């Protein structure tokens, strides 16, 4: 062992393991090759805690030095030929296995991007003399740009205030106290987005987006009007259960204005002097921070994220729409992932509410966080799941849900540590079983998802024990399991395969364009491909027609049932719900009418408060219930079957069979194969977004048709206003119910027609364009020489697992 290894171990406070490294002859040459070698690391450092520390430090070291170091480390892989054994015995076995590690794949991505950067430079370096060459270069430049677009997975983290979300995220990312946590009240309306800082500066950054001045002024007007209407009227200060409301709105005023908020007018509260510390709010810009340490950034963000009525400092969280935090050295966990700490429900503020719905709809994974002492009886955690399921399921793209029980170390036992550990693990096992049983009884989940063994998981974690290791081993805390969960979702290997295969296809096209005259053979191949395209589009069209007919049948029955039951549904759920008397309920109904059919309750301090009331959703419920199974069949978020995604997957130009018959145009066909794969992945993303629109069109259509009624009802005032609003709603439904539901049906079916049209037109246009550029271009094209780049990329491509069948993910 040389001094380099010894120095590093001393630097990382791992001196006691120096002899182990010495005994295994670990030197500077092979030290970094330990990255990803789990068994080797376990032999050198048996205890979990120190081994995790070593793993983290080694990862940081390799990330910082990857470019200057990997060319030497990867030389056996980079120069090997598929099928040919490397006989360079000077390299240790660990180096030969490096091609399969995450470091080797990451280097292929880095190397691939460097190659394509050179190609872009060559395309831009010389102006094209011919119009056809100019168009060809523009086509190639566009393809490279599309290739470099990164699609990230979104993990939504839900949970009530105090459940331990911030501590959980801090521990998983090993970031100390990056997200503020503690005894102060968390601000539940601020959305916090955490992702990797992929620059080389190693800084912690934050970007704060504010609501607009107009939105805040409107919110102030609403708060002050509410306050004024309650003065001297004790009845209206009580809800239907007789509890006095303690509004979060009062905290908003105090947080931002302190004593200046008492008795002030809207004009006074909007005065610029109140915002002198945040000029970005007034100018409509984002506020940015950049620090060297996590704790330093946390201090800067405190007043934007947390509500503390005991503090004398001005707090700005009422004005914050979202916060995006980027942290360094987490590439293995977050390179292709965004972690979002979400409020449990939408917000009274319109822009925050719309952002909440949009983000929840983009979540591919959801974590529901609750304390271990009440995982099944904790009402709020399960209500969050219930309220969000339609945005995650048919209205979203969620593929897995995890329930995370936190604070597992909070247990009362004797001072016997072994007994304490056994008690914690025993309770964890029981909690997992009970949570799984309750989850399996949730009816809405089964309506929206195809449940399989990987869809739902339960984790029992202790952020405190992971940090202290007092009683539990790291693996007992299950933080390492969640880290592995993120690594699998991050899936750097697939991202590398996608990029390298796409880049190889582009370079194959450029290289093929330099081939000698093959006009007749190109024409023959092109004819076959166009026939394959035509047949494939006909199959897709027929299958999409079957989907349309299935939806039409469900919606027709839904219209019939909705017309029969809508008046009763509206009465029981909104107009005259049981248990809600006139005292104070007229304010709920008026708020609902002002907000186009949706009432969002103001959250109370320390209470769950009332649930959202959405008349549009209630009226759409029959039609939605009858289409749920059809949605799950044709637009599932996960699983395979007869879905539209499967239809796209089965489409093919069958370029592989043509390569065997026409090897002379194999480069052109390689390009077409990779373009087909990328296009199908894009179409599946398009389908995912459009199916959200299709699912959400029913309540939107109903809202639009009901709008005149809502506007009229909202105008009523005085002692009889409640009954007048009820009468307005009843009469409108009775008169226009046929129109309301037939219009909703038509709009949904129109969107289904649009999705068929989009799929067919995209496939036809994009593939015809690709065929034209690869097989119909003149042989006199002026293209740059990319022979060297092609050969380098080919080596990367051939190292990919099953490279001949590489597919691009959606």
Q: Tell me the mean pLDDT per 10 residues along the chain, length 810.
A: 78 80 82 82 82 84 54 33 34 33 57 90 70 78 85 90 86 86 61 91 93 91 74 46 47 84 87 93 94 90 81 86 93 91 70 84 93 85 88 92 92 76 92 93 87 89 87 91 92 84 92 74 91 95 95 97 96 87 80 91 55 92 94 87 89 91 89 93 93 95 95 90 94 95 97 96 95 80 84 89 50
| pLDDT at residue 348 in the model | 64
Residue 239 belongs to a domain: no
Q: What is the pLDDT of residue 195?
A: 94
Number of H helices, E strands in the chain: 32, 13
In a domain? residue 65: no
Is 770 inside any structural domain? yes
In the prediction, which pLDDT does 609 show?
Answer: 52
CB environment 390-403: b (16+ within 10 A), e (fewer): bbbbbbbbbbbbbb
Given 60, 75, 93, the domain boundary residue is 60
Can you tell me which residue has the tokens 């179409």? 683
CA-angle at 6, arms to 75 and 35, nearest 5°: 40
Instruction: Give domain status of residue 620, yes or no.
Output: yes
Q: Would you state the pLDDT for residue 602?
A: 63
- Alpha helices of 404-478 — where are they, by DSSP H? 417-439, 443-448, 463-468, 474-477
pTM metric for this prediction? 0.80
> For 395, which DSSP code?
T
**Residue 54's domain spans which residues?**
3-60
Total structural domains within the chain: 2
- Domain with residue 16: its CATH number is 1.10.150
DSSP 53-85: HHHHHHHHHHHHHHHHHHHHHTHHHHH--TT--
- The pLDDT value recorded for residue 260 is 81
Q: Of the residues 60, 79, 103, which one is the last residue of a structural domain?
A: 60
Sort 780 into a burial class: Cβ within 10 Å, 0-12 / 13-18 / 19+. Answer: exposed
Q: Answer with the one of 41, 60, 79 that is the final residue of a domain.
A: 60
The verdict on residue 207 lying in a domain is: no
pLDDT at 605: 47
Predicted pLDDT at 429: 94
Residue 558 within any structural domain of the chain: yes
pLDDT of residue 583: 65
Residue 753 lies in a domain: yes
> Does residue 693 sit within a domain?
yes
pLDDT of residue 733: 95
Q: Write the CB contacts of 395 (distance below 8 Å, at least 6 apart in sequence).
A: 361, 692, 695, 696
């Amino acid at each position: 062992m040389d001094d380099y290894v010894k120095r590093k171990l001393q630097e990382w406070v791992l001196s006691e393991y120096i002899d182990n490294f010495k005994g295994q002859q670990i030197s500077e040459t092979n030290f970094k090759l330990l990255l990803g070698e789990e068994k080797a690391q376990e032999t050198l450092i048996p205890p979990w805690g120190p081994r995790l520390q070593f793993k983290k430090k080694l990862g940081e070291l390799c990330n910082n030095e990857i470019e200057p170091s990997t060319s030497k480390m990867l030389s056996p892989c980079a120069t090997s030929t598929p099928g040919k054994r490397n006989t360079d015995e000077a390299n240790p076995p660990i180096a030969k296995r490096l091609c399969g590690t995450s470091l080797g794949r990451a280097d292929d991505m880095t190397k691939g991007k460097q190659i394509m950067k050179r190609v872009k430079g060559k395309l831009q370096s010389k102006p094209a003399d011919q119009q056809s060459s100019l168009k060809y270069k523009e086509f190639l430049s566009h393809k490279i740009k599309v290739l470099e677009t990164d699609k990230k997975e979104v993990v939504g983290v839900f949970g009530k205030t105090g459940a331990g979300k911030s501590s959980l995220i801090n521990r998983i990312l090993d970031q100390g106290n990056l997200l503020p946590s503690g005894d102060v009240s968390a601000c539940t309306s601020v959305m916090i987005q955490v992702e990797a800082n992929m620059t080389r500066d190693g800084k912690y950054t934050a970007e704060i987006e504010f609501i607009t001045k107009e939105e805040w002024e409107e919110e102030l007007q609403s708060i002050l009007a509410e306050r004024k209407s309650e003065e001297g009227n004790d009845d209206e200060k009580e809800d239907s259960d007789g509890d006095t409301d303690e509004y979060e709105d009062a905290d908003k005023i105090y947080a931002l204005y302190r004593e200046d908020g008492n008795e002030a007018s809207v004009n006074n509260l909007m005065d610029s002097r109140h915002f002198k510390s945040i000029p970005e709010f007034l100018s409509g810009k984002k506020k940015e921070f950049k620090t060297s340490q996590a704790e330093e950034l946390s201090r800067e963000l405190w007043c934007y994220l947390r509500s503390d009525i005991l503090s004398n400092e001005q707090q700005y969280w009422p004005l914050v729409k979202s916060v995006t935090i980027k942290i360094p050295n987490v590439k293995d966990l977050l390179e292709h992932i965004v972690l979002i700490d979400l409020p449990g429900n939408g917000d009274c503020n319109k822009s925050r509410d719309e952002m909440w719905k949009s983000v929840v709809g983009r979540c591919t994974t959801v974590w529901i966080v609750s304390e271990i002492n009440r995982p099944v009886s904790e009402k709020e955690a399960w209500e969050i799941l219930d309220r969000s399921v339609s945005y995650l399921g048919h209205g979203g793209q969620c593929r897995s849900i995890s329930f995370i029980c936190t604070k597992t170390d909070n247990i009362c036992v004797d001072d016997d540590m072994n007994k304490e550990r056994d008690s914690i693990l025993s309770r964890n096992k029981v909690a997992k079983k009970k949570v799984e049983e309750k989850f399996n009884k949730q009816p809405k989940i089964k309506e929206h998802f195809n449940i399989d063994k990987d869809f739902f998981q339960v984790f029992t974690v202790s952020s405190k024990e992971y940090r202290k290791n007092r009683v539990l081993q790291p693996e007992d805390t299950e933080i390492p399991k969640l880290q592995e969960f993120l690594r699998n979702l991050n899936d750097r290997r697939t991202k590398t395969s996608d990029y390298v295969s796409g880049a190889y296809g582009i370079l194959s096209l450029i290289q093929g364009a330099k081939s000698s005259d093959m006009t007749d053979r190109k024409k023959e191949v092109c004819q076959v491909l166009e026939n394959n395209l035509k047949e494939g589009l006909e199959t897709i069209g027929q299958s999409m027609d079957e989907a349309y007919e299935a939806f039409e049948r469900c919606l027709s029955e839904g219209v019939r049932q909705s017309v029969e039951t809508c008046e009763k549904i509206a009465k029981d759920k909104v107009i005259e719900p049981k248990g809600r008397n006139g005292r104070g309920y007229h304010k709920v109904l008026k708020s609902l009418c002002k907000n186009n059919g949706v009432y969002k309750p103001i959250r109370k301090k320390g209470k769950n408060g009332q649930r959202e009331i959405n008349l549009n959703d209630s009226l759409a419920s029959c039609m939605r219930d009858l289409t749920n199974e059809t949605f799950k069949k044709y637009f599932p978020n996960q699983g395979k079957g007869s879905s539209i995604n499967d239809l796209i997957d089965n489409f093919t130009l069958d370029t592989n069979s043509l390569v065997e018959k026409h090897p002379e145009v194999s480069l052109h066909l390689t390009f077409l194969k990779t373009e087909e794969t990328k296009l199908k992945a894009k179409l599946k993303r398009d389908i995912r977004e459009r199916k959200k629109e299709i699912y959400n069109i029913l309540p939107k259509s109903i809202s639009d048709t009901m709008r005149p009624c809502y506007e009229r009802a909202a105008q009523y005032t005085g002692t009889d206003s409640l009954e007048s609003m009820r009468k307005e709603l009843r009469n409108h439904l009775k008169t226009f119910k046929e129109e309301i539901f037939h219009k909703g049906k038509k709009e949904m079916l129109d969107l289904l027609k649009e999705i068929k049209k989009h799929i067919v037109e995209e496939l036809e246009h994009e593939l015809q364009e690709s065929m034209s550029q690869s097989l119909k271009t003149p042989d006199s094209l002026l293209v740059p020489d990319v022979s060297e780049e092609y050969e380098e990329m080919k080596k990367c491509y051939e190292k990919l697992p099953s490279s001949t069948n590489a597919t691009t993910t959606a």
